[in-house]
Structure 1
Amino acid sequence: MSLKHSLLALLVVVIWGANFVIIDAGQEDVPPLLFLALRFLVVCVPALFFIKPPPIGWRNIVAIGATLSLGQFSLLYLALALGMPPGLASLLLQTQVIFSILVAAVVLRERPSRRQFVGVMIGMLGLSIVIVGHSQVAPWLPLVVTLLSALAWAVGNVLTRRSKASSGLSLVVWSGAVVPLPALALSLVVDTPTVVWQALTSLSWVAIASTVYTAVFASLIGYGIWNSLLARHPTSAVVPFTLLVPVVGILTAWLVQAEVPTTAEFIGGAIMLAGLAAAIIQPRRRREPPTKASQENLT
């Protein structure tokens, strides 16, 4: 990758890493499911009128939207509302790599390579250390909900792969269209119409700014840049940058909210990221020197 494209990948990492603290701040005055509905409303309107749906069929679009968009983000927003620290959430959400490999093995019969298997085992060891360390100082429910969010992301990844959908902006927009109405309906049931109406009529500038950031920067601009990089470069050159997202997320939470990981969370997180790196980073193949026969053919 060129320096320009590497810097663009790092820009996306910063946008996505800071996203967790910004979501957490936006939910101070807005119920999580209503906040989610507002985010994806901004993502989809007016983009739906200008971007054609991906040619994968409506059933696949709805299934991907229900898992990759609605399932992942509704659970993440609920976890943050329940008290999940944003920095730790950015780390645990990366377990979607582990879950994706496992779900693909079951659903798509994709047998993981030996390197991926070892990476998954290391990642699960690190995850276990994080869970044990976190459960000693904080409630376990937000952690479980965060892991369910990562699982929903993984299922969405597998559905996307099975439908042979490109990871283009059209998929982000049209699968995101599945979110606003169900999220709003759930918010009306969980939070009551009175609370929803009060939140909508008294939106703070923080909630508005957070909605704009998560919709425009994290979703549209972030995925727009990311997908363009995936279209130009091998996946193995682009995807490893996502391992820096929790690093940015933890640093942002530390600077903004004074969130400091415990020793167990720090050690477990480092081990988990090492496992994820082993699972997704492919070693470069050395070019074999030309044989004497090939040299003679060139001459």
Structure 2
Amino acid sequence: MVARDRLLAVFVAVIWGCNFLGIHYMLGQFPPVFAGALRYLLVAIPTILFIPRPKVRLRWLIGYGLGFGTGQYALLFIAMNIGVGTGLASLVVQASAPFTVLLGTFFLRERLSPRQLSGIVLAVGGLALITWHQAEHAALLPVVLVLLAALSWAIGNICARKAEPDNAVRFMLWMSVVPPIPMLVLSLLLEGPGAQWRSLTTLGTSTGLIGLGGLVYVVLLGTLAGSGIWTVLMRRNPAGVVAPFSLLVPVAGMTMSFLLLNERPQLTEILAGLVIVAGVLLGSLPRRQRSTGAASDEELAVSSS
């Protein structure tokens, strides 16, 4: 992997880490589920108009959209709205990696190596430590919602692997067509049309402009630019070389939330975070022999963060 590509991989990890800041500012203006619907709606409209639909089975495209899009971001946004820290959310959602491995063993009949099992045990141990710590401080529900968001992401990954698209970028864009309608319906039921309307009619305020800026960042940089660059890196380099750079996402997220939001993680959270990152890294290290299909699967699992 040349130095330019390494710098680009670090750049994408920073973009995705800052994505959680963008979400934080979005939630200051928009109701959480409505914010998720807007995020995908802004991607879905130009996709339908200008991007050919990928040649995949419709059920796997819908499954990916519901898992990675609707389930993950509805739960993640609600969790961040009711109290989980921005940096902590960027860390706990990495549980999608061991969840994906476990689901793959059951639904895809993928073999679980001793190294992967060790990585899962480490990651789950770190997550259990964070869950226990949050329960001690009466903040368990938001963390549980983030864990469910990570599980939903993993379900989306399984659907993506089953789809086997010939173009990962086109598949990712068309996935964005699925979430807007179910998220808008959920928003109407949970948040009400009044909250939706107020968030739109107050965009001219200072809070509204900041929230709009967060939305633009999440759509243009976090979704389109970040995923686009990552996919190019995956095509130019072995997936096992590129994938570990995604572990820098929670590092960037927690650092930026500390610098800009004054979020100060406690020692227990830092130690648990190191254990989780170590576990995910151990489980994602490439085997000595990798098939083309395995590389393609890993591309889909990490290219849509």
Query: Structure 1 length as normaliser, TM-score?
Result: 0.92
Matches within 5 A, 1:192-203: 192-203=192-203
Q: Measure the CA separation in 2 of the matches of 1:198 and 1:104.
A: 43
1:245 matches 2:249 = yes
Unaligned runs of 5+ in 1: 286-299
**Is the Cα–Cα contact under 8 Å of residues 54 and 170 in structure 2 kept in the other structure?**
yes
**Is the Cα–Cα contact under 8 Å of residues 84 and 142 in structure 2 kept in the other structure?**
yes
Matches within 5 A, 1:47-58: 47-58=47-58
Q: Measure the CA separation in 2 of the matches of 1:127 and 1:51.
A: 39
Distance apart, 1:165 and its partner CA: 2.4
Matches within 5 A, 1:97-112: 97-112=97-112
Q: Measure the CA separation in 2 of the matches of 1:95 and 1:222.
A: 20
Instruction: Tell me the matched-pair count.
Output: 285
Q: Measure the CA separation in 1 of the matches of 2:59 and 2:281.
A: 33
Q: Measure the CA separation in 2 of the matches of 1:220 and 1:102.
A: 29
Please tell me the residue identity of whatever aligns with 2:224.
L
Q: Measure the CA separation in 2 of the matches of 1:85 and 1:15.
A: 18
Aligned to 1:274: 278
**Is the Cα–Cα contact under 8 Å of residues 48 and 173 in structure 1 kept in the other structure?**
no
- Three-state SS of the structure 1 residue aligned to 2:186 is helix
**Is the Cα–Cα contact under 8 Å of residues 123 and 271 in structure 1 kept in the other structure?**
yes
Distance apart, 1:260 and its partner CA: 1.2
- Equivalent position to 2:238, from 234, 240, 249: 234
**Is the Cα–Cα contact under 8 Å of residues 32 and 77 in structure 1 kept in the other structure?**
yes
Please tell me the residue identity of whatever aligns with 2:222.
A
Q: Measure the CA separation in 1 of the matches of 2:112 and 2:254.
A: 30
**Is the Cα–Cα contact under 8 Å of residues 257 and 263 in structure 2 kept in the other structure?**
yes
**Is the Cα–Cα contact under 8 Å of residues 42 and 212 in structure 1 kept in the other structure?**
no
Q: Measure the CA separation in 1 of the matches of 2:84 and 2:40.
A: 22
1:96 matches 2:96 = yes
Please tell me the residue identity of whatever aligns with 1:150.
A
1:85 matches 2:85 = yes
- Three-state SS of the structure 2 residue aligned to 1:54 is coil
- Change in 2 beyond 3 A, CA 1:16/1:138: farther
CA RMSD of aligned residues (A): 1.4
Matches within 5 A, 1:1-299: 1-166=1-166, 168-203=168-203, 204-282=208-286
Please tell me the residue identity of whatever aligns with 2:186.
L
Q: Runs of 4 or more off by more than 6 Å in structure 1?
A: none
Query: Structure 2 length as normaliser, TM-score?
Result: 0.90
Distance apart, 1:47 and its partner CA: 2.8
Please tell me the residue identity of whatever aligns with 2:184.
L
**Is the Cα–Cα contact under 8 Å of residues 22 and 210 in structure 1 kept in the other structure?**
yes
Which has the larger displacement, 213-222 or 190-199?
A: 190-199
CA deviation string 1:173-208 (max 9, x = no partner): 111111112211211111111221111121211121
Aligned to 2:299: none
Q: Measure the CA separation in 2 of the matches of 1:138 and 1:167.
A: 45
- Three-state SS of the structure 2 residue aligned to 1:56 is coil
CA deviation string 1:219-267 (max 9, x = no partner): 1111111111111211101100011100000001101111111111111
Distance apart, 1:167 and its partner CA: 6.3
Q: Measure the CA separation in 1 of the matches of 2:166 and 2:34.
A: 29
Distance apart, 1:283 and its partner CA: 6.4
Please tell me the residue identity of whatever aligns with 2:24.
D
**Is the Cα–Cα contact under 8 Å of residues 25 and 206 in structure 1 kept in the other structure?**
yes
Which has the larger displacement, 175-184 or 165-174?
A: 165-174
Q: Measure the CA separation in 2 of the matches of 1:276 and 1:97.
A: 7
Distance apart, 1:270 and its partner CA: 0.7
- Three-state SS of the structure 1 residue aligned to 2:165 is coil
- Three-state SS of the structure 2 residue aligned to 1:46 is helix
Q: Measure the CA separation in 1 of the matches of 2:119 and 2:112.
A: 10
Greater radius of gyration (CA): 1
Distance apart, 1:45 and its partner CA: 2.3
Q: Measure the CA separation in 1 of the matches of 2:173 and 2:286.
A: 30
Unaligned runs of 5+ in 2: 290-305
